Amino acid sequence: MTTPLPSTDGVRVAVRVRPFSQREKNSGSKCVISMHSGTTTTIQDPKNPEHRKTFIFDLAYWSHDGFQKDQDGVLISADPSSQFASQTDVFHDLGRGILDSAWQGYNTTLLAYGQTGSGKSYSMVGFGANKGIIPKVCEELFQAIEKKEGNEDYQVTFSMLEIYNEQIRDLLSRTKKPGGLKVREDQQLGFYVDGLKSVPCENYAQIERLMEQGTKVRTTASTNMNASSSRSHMVVTIQFKQVFLDRHLTKQSSINLVDLAGSERQKSSGSEGDRLREGSRVNLSLTNLGNVISALADAAMGKRVLHVPYRDSVLTKLLQPALGGNSRTALIAAISPADLCYEETLSTLRYAERAKKIQNKAVVNTSMLMRESKAENSKALLMTETFPHLLNVNEDPQLTGVLKFFIQTGTRHLLPRPRPRPPLHLPLQTLVFFRISDKHASFTNLDGTVMVTPHGQCKVVVNGVPIVAKTKLQHLDRLILGSNSAYLYIGFPAERGSEDLSRFDYDFFQLERAAAEGVSVDKLGAAGRGDGNADPSVLAVFQDYVKLMPLVAEANQMGEELDKGLRMELKVKNLASSDSRGYDLQKEVMVKVTHQRTHEVWIWSKAKFINRKFLMEELYQRFLEGEASHVAREDDPFWDPVEAVHLGSAHVWLQPLAYCMRLEEQVDFLNCDGTEEAVLHVHVTPCSPGGQACGDEDVVMDPLELLGKRMDFQIGLVRCLGIKWLKERAERGVQIGYRIYDLSSTFYTKPVWKTVNPQIEETVQFTALNASQEFLNYLQTNALVVELWGLQEGCAQLSSSQPDVMVTSEGHIMVDTKKISTVMDTSQTTSNQISELYMKLLKLEQETELLRNVNRALREENVLLKHSLQKVASAKPARKPSDTLKVPPMPAQLPAAGDSPHVSAQRAGSDRELAMALKVFYQSMNAARGQFLRLKHYKPPDDDGLLRPFVHQQSQRLKDFGELLESSLWRLKSDVARIVREKRAGLLHPG
Ligand code: ADP
Ligand code: MG
């Protein structure tokens, strides 16, 4: 016998692009993938369509379009010109390769990589009639064995495991070992899983049954532990041994078929900004697989690689032979065609590119014959479907419809959860296992009617609506039991038709639940666009909301079982908030966490919540396994130090300031849902540098008159009224903060505690030394957004960090300093020099202003003198009235050279009156703006019965709003008309 030479071969890499999912179609996705000549894949950047990247792999499968269903439901090419790649095509290349290698005695491995929902399981396992590589390989293997005649014996064993959180679970075993099975190392065998069941099989039907059972266990486990299958790796191993009896020789091949966890977890940035590290074990295996592949790819490119980290994770230990070792390996990279997935898809293609470089050295595994005993075969149980039953619906379509709960005649309680051993088979009367409380609900099947009754406080949702009493079930009702166990109710055989059950998928359940909770694209503000299409950012928030909804329910349930006393709620940040110009702010989902006993409140971002949920799952798993689930407070994913909580914002429109008018208002603090949190009494007062409030005589007609001048104003927060945060809990406190114009820091008031109507009385003076056009524009179009923050016992108060705030010589805070900053930024001077320069500049500005004033006074005096001189020299008649009337009444100008002193004085008088009229007008416009913003955010009630009063109220508000506008305009018009009349009369009859 000769020693077979190792054959060096690279990892074969295939890419496969799937059709659009329903969700992608609904949101109008565009395809960013194209493929050519069976090997080339091009991806286009949706934000920058000229930017394309091309990858060449061994195989490129176009399964996106160009297909149709045959009578058995199998997807086939729609016509001969279609480049569509079917399951058969994929099997033809990859599956056959696996079988050939196996027959030759090589180890072989196929990995499916890609983000969740990209089609990994579709290629590996398949759906229904569209069988994937795993069943087809097994089927063909046995077909080939059956055809063999001769003095040979064939042994096939099958095992199936799952790696979740770095723990191995035997999917063919009825018992779950706490902590999972262990990976051990053997000098000869390398790494292996100790105690893993490897079941000998004699035909394909046996394998099919084992796979079914394995999937059942996987589904049950995923439901029981609130664990998503997208985060677990599934490894199917077929040991194939050929025994050549006459030659006393064996050839052995290990076929590993791996459906990897969703790759999107790899770069989970959830822990960014979180106190706790990322839930690391969740994706350790996948991250480390990437590290191993990178190291091997580097080595293949001639780089010096000191260490390949096989040992750093469970998966890489098991896959060691497949990666740079004794195996022929292929990788199928599954990708989504949609523009929304561009980043993920690109990263999958890059990953595949690296994997392609790996070089393996596969050898034929032969050895001398030794006899082995056979383990007993396992049996499966048939089920009958004449009873009404519940069919499970999982987030992962592979795990949907795997579990059935038959409702036989009589009353059935949901059993206590079978911790820690789910049975492998589901006998008729056995109920499915929910991660829900003991005796969750009962089902009765009497007189041809099935009823469900929730027990105690247990959650049962039927068709999106929670039920509290006995409820009759109808064929195809949707049930959610506990946090997130979804079931489709299948009625009596007589009720069943030929309906398509596949439309009741996971998305259907979640959308239905969201709609029942009053969350829909419309409610999130899509209506505002006017073109009937939802704003993409609103759609994105909606998708996030629906996706997070079940996760929040699960987190609540884990918290409940772990006795954390927390309540988590999904909220939409900025649902009804506007920026300083009144435009809607970017919306995002967030999670509000409330401690039920202490009433402490936290706000978590989406990323933080996702990270925390991983960590909660780790803790929960320990709890389920009976391990101590106690953690130090600092490490507890359910705990955080308390922080100040954003309660709401109020808008104070600054327009009057642009006319040097004072404004004093009561404005509402509105929370993210648009409801009132408190009322703020505030004033914004133009003043002199010394802080003296300006009077009516300082009002200007045109903000441009203020251009280049010094402007001083005070923002005074007087008091707050009716703060809800304090009505809820009297020991709480508040702080108020605001930021104005170009200042980078927020000014916070001092904290006030334990009072619902606190007196604030804080006034800050701001100065624009040289009011710029931009600043004046800002005042006319923007509001000061004042934020209300809730303080709770033990939380740090908010403080104004003002490192780069500049102050005037009087100590006022300077705004509109761009010009000064530019001078300071460009000068390469030390800070001392900067402040020196700045002081000089300040002085210069003040001197210039002084000179300007002197100049103006001199000019006026000059004009006066000229006039008296002229009067004395020639007794000329006054100008004709018609000439004077040509001076336009609006906008009024400052007294200019050429006017007589009398006209000047008379004009200044009418200007002041006009200013007063304008002041009244702007003030009412302010009220109108406030009303308009509030009107914009009123949302119709969920209850249809309340719709009529709502519409009535809304039209009343619109009427009031319209009247306010009308009366303000009318008043302005009549005031202006009066002033013009008076002015004309004054000019016609001077003196
Ligand atoms: P993954 O395992 O990567 O999470 P799945 O294999 O479950 O993704 O695929 C997600 C969905 O897309 C499933 O409903 C599946 O039927 C569908 N799908 C995936 N690939 C294809 C394909 N090549 N042809 C048709 N449908 C596909
Ligand atoms: Mg899958």
pLDDT, tens digit (0-9, with 9 covering 90-100), for 702-759? 888 999 999 999 999 999 999 999 999 999 999 999 989 988 888 999 999 999 999 9
At 174 the pLDDT is: 83
117 CB less than 6 Å from ligand 1? yes
Cα 600–606–611 angle (5° rounding)?
A: 85
More confident residue, 115 or 326: 115
13, containing H or E segment: strand 12-17
Tell me the pLDDT tens digit for each residue of 650-680: 999 999 999 999 999 999 999 887 889 999 9
CA of 161 to the centre of ligand 2 (A): 14
At 173 the pLDDT is: 92
At 435 the pLDDT is: 36
337 CB less than 6 Å from ligand 1? no
Q: Which ligand is nearest to the CA of 68?
A: 1
398 CB less than 6 Å from ligand 1? yes
Tell me the pLDDT tens digit for each residue of 315-371: 999 988 888 888 889 999 999 999 989 999 999 999 999 888 888 877 787 765 433
Instruction: Round the CA-based radius of gyration of the chain to a whole number and report it.
Output: 38
Helices (H) and strands (E) in the chain, counts: 20, 44
121 CB less than 6 Å from ligand 1? yes
Contact (Cβ atoms closer than 8 angstroms) between residue 308 and residue 298 = no
| Closest-lying ligand 1 atom to the alpha carbon of residue 127 | 16
Q: Which residue in 261, 235, 227 sits closest to 116, CA to CA?
A: 261
Q: Which residues contact 466 (CB under 8 A, 6 or more apart)?
A: 459, 460
Which of 192-201, 237-246, 281-290, 473-482 has the weakest average pLDDT? 281-290
CA of 20 to the centre of ligand 1 (A): 10
63 CB less than 6 Å from ligand 1? yes
Contact (Cβ atoms closer than 8 angstroms) between residue 729 and residue 791 = no
334 CB less than 6 Å from ligand 1? yes
CA of 396 to the centre of ligand 2 (A): 6
Mean pLDDT throughout 50-54? Answer: 95
Mean pLDDT, the chain, whole residue set: 82
Instruction: Report how far apart, in Å, the C-alpha atoms of 808 and of each of 63, 711, 814, 831 are.
Output: 69, 12, 6, 17
Q: Which ligand is nearest to the CA of 397?
A: 1
Mutate to test the pocket of ligand 1, among 122, 234, 395 (most ligand atoms within 8 A of CB): 122
pLDDT confidence of 696, banded at 50, 70, 90? confident
- List Cβ<8 Å contacts ≥24 apart for 971-978: 971/917, 971/920, 971/921, 971/924, 972/917, 972/918, 972/920, 972/921, 975/913, 975/914, 975/917, 975/920, 976/889, 976/890, 976/914, 976/917
At 888 the pLDDT is: 37
Task: Give 103-132 as a 3 state SS string.
Answer: HHCCCEEEEEECCCCCCHHHHHCEECCEEC
pLDDT confidence of 892, banded at 50, 70, 90? very low
More confident residue, 162 or 432: 162
Tell me the pLDDT tens digit for each residue of 869-882: 777 777 654 443 44
Does position 190 have pLDDT exceeding 60, yes or no?
A: yes
Tell the residue nearest (CA) to atom 21 of ligand 1. Answer: 18
Does position 905 have pLDDT exceeding 50, yes or no?
A: yes
Does position 620 have pLDDT exceeding 50, yes or no?
A: yes
CA of 117 to the centre of ligand 1 (A): 6
Q: Which residues contact 530 (CB under 8 A, 6 or more apart)?
A: none
More confident residue, 837 or 88: 88
Tell me the pLDDT tens digit for each residue of 218-234: 988 877 777 778 889 99
CA of 119 to the centre of ligand 1 (A): 4
| Closest-lying ligand 1 atom to the alpha carbon of residue 87 | 23
> Phi/psi at 648 (nearest 5 deg)?
175, 175
18 CB less than 6 Å from ligand 1? yes
At 172 the pLDDT is: 95
114 CB less than 6 Å from ligand 1? yes
The two three-digit tokens of residue 825, written as one number: 């930024």
229 CB less than 6 Å from ligand 1? no
Which of 60-64, 114-118, 481-485 has the weakest average pLDDT? 481-485
Q: Whats the size of the chain, residue-wise?
A: 991
Rounded Cα–Cα distance for residues 320 and 328 (Å): 12
The structure tokens 């090997």 sit at 39
404 CB less than 6 Å from ligand 1? no
Does position 243 have pLDDT exceeding 90, yes or no?
A: no
Q: Which residues of 777-798 are buried (b: 16+ CB within 10 A; e: fewer)?
A: ebbbebbbbbbbbbbbeebeeb
CA of 275 to the centre of ligand 1 (A): 36
Q: Please state whether beta strands 359-362 and 190-193 pair in parallel, antiparallel, or not at all (unpaired).
A: unpaired
915 CB less than 6 Å from ligand 1? no
352, containing H or E segment: helix 342-356
Tell the residue nearest (CA) to atom 18 of ligand 1. Answer: 119
| Closest-lying ligand 1 atom to the alpha carbon of residue 116 | 4
Instruction: Report how far apart, in Å, the C-alpha atoms of 191 and of each of 7, 178, 501, 733 are.
Output: 22, 21, 43, 60
Rounded Cα–Cα distance for residues 690 and 711 (Å): 11
CA of 230 to the centre of ligand 2 (A): 6
Query: Most confidently modeled of 44-53, 510-519, 542-551, 831-840?
Result: 44-53
Contact (Cβ atoms closer than 8 angstroms) between residue 649 and residue 669 = yes
> Phi/psi at 710 (nearest 5 deg)?
-80, 135
Cα atoms found within 13 Å of the Cα of residue 773, Cβ hemisphere only: 0
CA of 444 to the centre of ligand 1 (A): 37
CA of 17 to the centre of ligand 1 (A): 10
Tell me the pLDDT tens digit for each residue of 565-609: 999 999 888 777 778 887 877 888 999 999 999 999 999 999 889
258 CB less than 6 Å from ligand 1? no
Q: Please state whether beta strands 59-62 and 12-17 pair in parallel, antiparallel, or not at all (unpaired).
A: parallel
pLDDT confidence of 178, banded at 50, 70, 90? confident
Q: Please state whether beta strands 328-335 and 12-17 pair in parallel, antiparallel, or not at all (unpaired).
A: parallel
576 CB less than 6 Å from ligand 1? no
Mean pLDDT throughout 400-423? Answer: 60
CA of 401 to the centre of ligand 2 (A): 14
| Closest-lying ligand 1 atom to the alpha carbon of residue 115 | 3
CA of 212 to the centre of ligand 1 (A): 18
| Closest-lying ligand 1 atom to the alpha carbon of residue 397 | 7
At 300 the pLDDT is: 84
Rounded Cα–Cα distance for residues 984 and 989 (Å): 9
- Work out the percent of the chain whose per-residue pLDDT is above 90: 42
Does position 886 have pLDDT exceeding 70, yes or no?
A: no
CA of 229 to the centre of ligand 1 (A): 14
Helix axes 204-224, 133-147, angle to 10 degrees: 160
Rounded Cα–Cα distance for residues 718 and 762 (Å): 7
CA of 549 to the centre of ligand 1 (A): 23
CA of 119 to the centre of ligand 2 (A): 7
More confident residue, 227 or 182: 182
Mutate to test the pocket of ligand 1, among 18, 94, 233, 260 (most ligand atoms within 8 A of CB): 18
Cis peptide before 420 (omega within 30 of 0): yes
More confident residue, 204 or 892: 204
Tell me the pLDDT tens digit for each residue of 262-301: 987 544 444 556 777 665 556 788 888 988 988 888 888 8
118 CB less than 6 Å from ligand 1? yes
Does position 163 have pLDDT exceeding 50, yes or no?
A: yes
Tell the residue nearest (CA) to atom 5 of ligand 1. Answer: 119
Q: Which ligand is nearest to the CA of 334?
A: 1
685 CB less than 6 Å from ligand 1? no
Tell the residue nearest (CA) to atom 10 of ligand 1. Answer: 117
Identify residue 52 by its one-letter amino acid code. R
CA of 253 to the centre of ligand 2 (A): 26
Does position 422 have pLDDT exceeding 50, yes or no?
A: no
Which of 170-174, 308-312, 560-564, 936-940 has the weakest average pLDDT? 936-940
Identify residue 990 by its one-letter amino acid code. P
> In the chain, helix, strand, coil percent, each to 5?
35, 25, 40
Tell me the pLDDT tens digit for each residue of 964-975: 777 877 787 788
At 827 the pLDDT is: 41
Rounded Cα–Cα distance for residues 778 and 206 (Å): 76
87 CB less than 6 Å from ligand 1? no
Give Cα 208 to chain centroid, integer Å: 39
Cis peptide before 891 (omega within 30 of 0): yes
Q: Classify residue 464 as left (phi > 0), alpha (psi -120 to 50) or beta.
A: left
CA of 435 to the centre of ligand 2 (A): 22
At 415 the pLDDT is: 43
Rounded Cα–Cα distance for residues 619 and 627 (Å): 9
Q: Which residue in 536, 220, 592, 567 sits closest to 402, CA to CA?
A: 220
Q: Which residue in 52, 305, 285 sits closest to 164, CA to CA?
A: 285
Q: Please state whether beta strands 733-738 and 747-748 pair in parallel, antiparallel, or not at all (unpaired).
A: antiparallel
Q: Which ligand is nearest to the CA of 119?
A: 1
506 CB less than 6 Å from ligand 1? no
Mean pLDDT throughout 259-264? Answer: 90
